[in-house]
Structure 1
Amino acid sequence: MSQDSKNTDGMQTCMVVPDDPSQSALEMISRLPDVTNDVVVMKDVKVAMRADFEEYKKGKVALISGGGSGHEPAHAGYVGKGMLTAAVAGNCFASPSVSAILTAILTVSGPAGCLLIVKSYTGDRFNFNFAAAKAQARGIPCKVVTVADDVALPCPKGSSGILQRRGLAGTLFLHKILGSLAEGGADLDTIEKEAQKIAAQIGTIGVSFAPVLVPGNEAGPAFAKRLEAEVIELGMGIHGESGARRIPRSQLRCTAGSSGDHCLDMSRLVDVMLREGLFNDNEGFRYLSQRKKGQRCVLLTNNLGGTSNLEMTLIAGEAAEQLEKKYGLLVTRTVTGSLMTSLNMPGFSLSLLLLEDGATGDAWVESLDAPSAAAAWPGTGRRASGEGLVSIPPDVQEVLKPFSEPPLTAEEKQSEGVKRAERLLRAACGVLIAKESEISAMDAVCGDGDCGIGLKRGAETVLAGLEEGSLPLRSGGLDTAFWSEVGRRFNEGCEGSSGVLYGIFLEKIGERLAAAAAAGGDAKAVASAVKAAVSGLEAVCLASKGSRTMMDALIPSAAALEEAVKGGAGGRDALMAAAEAAAKGCESTKELRPAAGRSAYIPFDQVRGTADPGAYAVSLWVAALASAFD
């Protein structure tokens, strides 16, 4: 997974905030009704409420939560039918005031009373409990449940209850389960007892690749030092507090499949989080030591704000798999998304709810699955444990199955045509693999940086077919089947624009070479087939010479090949002429204004002086063919 979090200046990605950053929380909650259905806001106290609170409070228990802003969508995003009745927001990373919390209690609570769901931070505990006491003094039935699901730090000792474990994303399990109970009409005592049981079965461990800066604050030396450190912080808090342990990134970097050092090994990272976090059975931890083999659980994978959705899906799947295979748990439900963030912090957290046996656990799952109108609740996923993966239907496989022919005999493998076709394939594919990082570096300037990676994967897929003996080499590369299969494999491996363009190009060569094979592989027919394939590709991609694409190398290369063959040149000399033309075409792209492809969206001053990566790739494999031909 990617762990980049800094721009070229070494600072965090900018945030879009009001002209006065101190007003961010007020501006945010004031705009909630613009983007969220069925929510109303008391702007002066930064309280969001379900729009039907007047009717709701006549007979049902109100659920109220909240805390500092900067953790959106928590908590206002969970206001709605089936979850919270109200959420109280403080300023960024600051707990809301007693008066704001009390205003929420007095507004949305009726005869059934209210339950306050509080994350375990000193300011939150003091403010919410003081507000609860004031509400009780006014005759409102009001109870408080404190969530302390952090497993990164040892259990505090000798603090007289002042210092406690932190409340993290596991709080959302209570929002959803208790919200369903309250919606169903459960009384306050029942809900409060259930809350205590749930809170005792939750653990959360987070990891971050960089701290965050509160809007309006300056990055001092201490922040800059943390930002520049090549470490991952295990257990960093959602307010940017230092974690339990700093792990050098070098210990978790991918060792295969990446040409850079910006990718982390997801499997190893998740393993550390489970082993040193959720299931740390050392003295002073043991927060989930009550777990049993085969016990059902629910996994909540939370984006801390700066992690891509692609990574989040991979992380959630990896964590669920390790929970089952390494720890013997049964992951019955998953919840994944940006649920309780820390502004734009790059990182994520894993929260686990151990389900009680029997009817209680069943009821918790039923409550998690129950519908909710809260805008930010993503719903639950039902872990399929592999059952969700299905095969391509047989009738579709029949249509799409690759060309097959009997294996080559030992004598056929030694034929000059077969050996030459194999040698040329290895040369062309080999250079694309070897030059992947160079091509990608050029594409980082001219496009999105993945050109080299895609071409490498396409080449590797073709070579895999060669090693398997599944490529139709019997004709020595002079029939439709060979080129069609090479094109199919390259397309499937490479994907993207390059994949389909090469697939079309190679298939069109095969179409024209059918006649050449019947004529004994006449060199003029081969060159003509390549030229025709390039023309056909030009018509499909709508890019021509001068458009700053692969066509700037491919078009002159094909023309030079045909001209050299017509002039009596042999195969090697003809390919050398084609390679020279491709190199010149590639060089010309440095001064061409982009007219197609992703580079067309990039300012010319940025790409000027850098050759088009697609054209460069063409020049590489044509030169490789020339060198390998004999």
Structure 2
Amino acid sequence: MKKLLNDPRGVVREMLEGQVDLCPGQALLAEADVVVRAGLPAPADRREVAVLSGGGSGHEPAHAGYVGEGMLHAAIAGDVFTSPSVDAVLAGLRAAAGPAGALLVVKNYTGDRLNFGLAAELARAEGIPAELVVVADDVALRDTVEPARRRGIAGTVLVHKVAGAAAAAGLPLAAVAAEAQAAAAAMGSMGVALGACTVPAAGRPGFTLGAEEIELGLGIHGEQGVRRGPLRPVDALVEEMLGVILADRGFGAGTPVVLLVNGLGGTPPMELAVAARAALAGLRARGLVVERAWCGNLLTALEMPGLSLTVMQVDAARLARLDAPSTAPAWPGPGRIPPRRQVVAGGGAPERAPERAPAPRGAARPDGAAVRRAALAAAAALEAAEARLTELDSAAGDGDLGLSMTRGAAAIRALPDGAWQDARSALAAMGEALRRAIAGSSGPFYATALLRAARSLPEGAPPQPADWARAFEAAVAAIAELGGAKPGDRTMLDALQPAAAGFAAALAGGSPPAVAWVAAVRAAREGAAATAGMRPRLGRASYLGDRTLGTPDAGAAAAVVWLEQIADGRERPGA
């Protein structure tokens, strides 16, 4: 896997240097990979209880991102997924702590417990009081190991916040440690991954998954989970994880809790928000009271695609610790949420003339019925072509055309019987439907074309072949005007313009409508094929220049798909 690094052996130090360069409230120890708060009081006897944490790197923004007022006083970084040395932890203790002592918040991994524990013992020998709190919040291991041997994962961040706020309030070391220990015991976490991550020094993923497989119940060091299973919708995955967490912790209806939806490094905010939606709904459906919620990358596993959920029980005192201010750059803020989703009406749509009551089934004129047959055939063909259109659009665009066309097809299929009263009203109804159903550029283009074509047809009488030719040309002109494109720019116009011109020319030459339409489709196919050799001049594809050569334009290909469905004269309007 490609990574934006220099020498993997120097990645931790360079990362910490970049972290501190960006944060005026932080400083980096010269002799160790330790980030401390800048401007700690001197002499040391004026310092509050220091809260320290750390572990292997690769969990960014943890742990250095939580160094700041109200959270950590220092963070000690080891190599990627490797515990820091005893000397590094001891250096952090000496730099951050005073006579009030220090609390070390440690995730439950053997290396961290050993190295942080020995450093605490050495600090005590130097006269620095030190206590350890071990976080073991991974409930996925409930059937594998005893509770004291579970892993520490993303809930550790909430313990940082509780302990840091308690220290900032001036509590003595024993009280700070007690609050941190109680917070660690009051929560459960569980993770799911869609793939592995790659340790820089290794250069390859830690494990492999099939295209439709996931790992459930994994830690934060690139390891496999408790079990492998099939990929399912996120709502189902969240429901399963919540079920395990709540059953293990015994949280039931009426329990006040906070929620942490944590990305593992490779999950986009879009997917995390969808998971947060499901988690909030799941907790509330069970009667729990969600007081606060946070969502984002808080404790990661390099670029692993996946997430974890943490649910912590709170009371007024613990909630006050979580609400207390902090200057730590990675702390996401107060986490306040509304008691329910807030949905409000928009600014109001403009008033419309009263719509004509839909005609009863079977009352459509023959031209309306013909448009309906053609439209439904086109919709089915576009749905069948979704994968191909997505592939073509991904080569030069954003890959959404296949989905846009299927949404448009569904909107056409959902039109009521009254929309197909006649050809003119049918085209207008399709234009309105596509305008609402398709985002991006396709929706406005097709809606404008259909509305312009509808207005071009005669009112009160079935359109004749010449009327259809004029409507087709008007639709193509509308697309050109709206987008500013012309034939040769590698757009849908390269298929539509020759098709409209060919249809009109064939009719003018005396060809029957069915024969003329076959000529139109032939011209569209040739035009779409020619786009493979065109350099794009508009839209996202224009940014790629010659890299698009060899692949036909997706919009032109989509036009051919639906044009082909009305090539049979028996189905074509006006035939």
The answer to whether the superposition gives a TM-score over 0.5 is: yes
- Residue of structure 2 in register with 1:89 after alignment: 77
Aligned to 1:592: 534
The aligned counterpart of 1:458 is: 408
Q: Deviations over 1:11-56 (max 9, x none)?
A: xx4222222x121111111221222342111142111122232269
Give me the whole-angstrom Cα distance separating, in 2, the residues matched to 1:228 and 1:438: 23
**1:66 positional shift:** 0.8
Q: Contact between 2:107 and 2:151, CA under 8 Å: does it hold in 1? A: yes
Instruction: Name the counterpart of 1:317.
Output: 277
Mapped to 1, the partners of 2:157 and 2:241 lie a distance apart of 20
Amino acid at match of 2:253: K
Does the C-alpha gap of structure 1 residues 351 and 225 become closer, same or farther in structure 2, counting only changes over 3 Å? closer
2:377 corresponds to which of 427, 451, 455: 427
2:313 paired residue number: 354
The reply on whether 1:623 has 2:574 as its aligned counterpart is no
Q: 1:155 to 1:126 in 2, by over 3 A?
A: farther
- Indicate the residue corresponding to 1:3 in structure 2: none
Q: Deviations over 1:141-199 (max 9, x none)?
A: 322211111111137769xx9x8211110011111222223223333232221112111
Amino acid at match of 1:129: G
Match status 1:121 vs 2:71: no
Q: How far 1:602 sits from its partner (Å)?
A: 3.2
Residues of 2 paired with 1:341 and 1:322: CA distance?
Answer: 24
Match of 2:135 among 115, 129, 147: 147
Q: Which residue of 2 aligns with 1:178?
A: 163
Deviation sequence 1:207-248 (CA, Å, 0-9, x none): 1233333212254xxx6764569642212221123321122x
Mapped partners of 1:608, 1:525: distance in 2:
37
Corresponding residue number in structure 2 for 1:194: 179
SS at structure 2 position matched to 1:240:
coil
* 1:70–1:93 contact (8 Å) kept in structure 2: yes
CA distance, structure 1, for counterparts of residue 498 and residue 372 of structure 2: 25
**Counterpart Cα distance in 1 of 2:361 and 2:395:** 48
After TM superposition, the structure 1 = structure 2 runs for residues 95-110 of structure 1, keeping only pairs within 5 Å, are: 95-110=83-98
Q: Is the 8 A contact 1:556 1:582 kept in 2?
A: yes
What does 1:49-68 correspond to in 2, within 5 Å? 49-54=36-41, 58-68=46-56
Mapping for residues 319-338 of structure 1, pairs under 5 Å: 319-325=279-285, 327-338=286-297
Aligned mates of 1:531, 1:192 — CA distance in 2: 77
Aligned to 2:245: 278
CA contact (8 A) 2:424 2:455 kept: no
Counterpart mapping for 1:472-483 below 5 A: 473-474=420-421, 476-478=422-424, 482-483=426-427
The match for 1:542 among 484, 496, 499 is: 484
> Does the 8 Å CA contact 1:404/1:470 hold for their aligned counterparts?
no
Over 3 Å counting, the alpha-carbon distance change for 1:469 and 1:177 in structure 2 is farther
CA distance in 2, matches of 1:77, 1:442: 42
TM-score by length of 2: 0.92
Query: Is it true that 1:566 corresponds to 2:542 in the alignment?
Result: no
Shift of 1:79: 1.0
Instruction: Tell me how far apart the structure 2 counterparts of residues 550 and 43 of structure 1 sit (CA, whole Å).
Output: 61
Structure 1 residue 385, shift from structure 2 partner: 5.3
**Counterpart residue number, 1:307:** 267
The equivalent of 1:505 in structure 2 is 449
2:60 match: 72
Q: Deviations over 1:521-558 (max 9, x none)?
A: 35434422331332232132122111121110011112
Instruction: Assess if the C-alpha contact under 8 Å between 1:335 and 1:381 holds in 2.
Output: yes
Measured at CA, do residues 368 and 594 of structure 1 come closer, stay the same or move farther in structure 2, by a change above 3 Å?
A: same
Distance 2:273 2:113 in 1: 34
SS at match of 1:105: helix
For residues 18-37 of structure 1, what are the structure 2 equivalents within 5 Å? Answer: 18-19=6-7, 21-37=8-24
Query: Which 5+ residue runs of structure 1 have no aligned equivalent?
Result: 1-12, 253-263, 281-285, 356-360
Deviation at 1:398, TM superposition (A): 4.2
Q: Distance in 1 between matches of 2:460 and 2:358?
A: 22
Deviations 1:493-523 (A, max 9, x none): 221121222122222223433xx22676354
Cα 1:587/1:43, change in 2 over 3 Å: same
State the AA in 2 paired with 1:501. F
Q: Structure 1 610/226 Cα, relative in aligned 2: closer, same or farther at 3 Å?
A: closer
Output the CA distance in 2 between the equivalents of 1:243 and 1:537.
Answer: 52
| Number of aligned residue pairs | 570
Structure 2 match to 1:15: 3
Q: Distance in 1 between matches of 2:143 and 2:507?
A: 80
Alignment partner of 1:490 is 2:434:
yes
Unmatched runs of 5 consecutive residues or more in structure 2: none
Report Cα offsets for 1:311-350 as digits up to 9, x if no partner: 111111112212232x432222211111111111111111
Q: Does residue 376 of structure 1 match 2:361?
A: no
- Which residue in 1 is equivalent to 2:28? 41
Aligned position for 2:236: 268
Secondary structure of the 1:67 match is strand
Relative distance call for 1:343 and 1:382 in structure 2 (3 A) is: same
How far residue 93 of structure 1 moved from its aligned partner, in angstroms, is 1.0
Pair 242,398 (structure 1): closer, same or farther in 2 beyond 3 Å: same
Distance 1:403 1:369 in 2: 53
Task: Give, in whole Å, the separation in 2 of the partners of 1:313 and 1:440.
Answer: 25
CA contact (8 A) 1:30 1:43 kept: no
Partner SS for 1:45: coil
Q: Which shows bigger deviation, 225-234 or 451-460?
A: 225-234
TM-score (norm 1): 0.84
Q: Who is 1:240 aligned against?
A: 222
Q: Which amino acid aligns with 1:121?
A: Y
Asked whether the 8 Å contact 1:302–1:340 carries over to 2, the reply is yes
Say whether the 8 Å CA contact 1:74–1:339 is kept in structure 2: yes
Cα distance change of structure 1 residues 463 and 381 upon mapping to structure 2, 3 Å threshold: farther
Is 2:346 aligned against 1:364?
no
Equivalent pair of 1:493/1:499 in contact (CA under 8 Å)? yes
| One-letter amino acid of the counterpart of residue 233, structure 2 | D
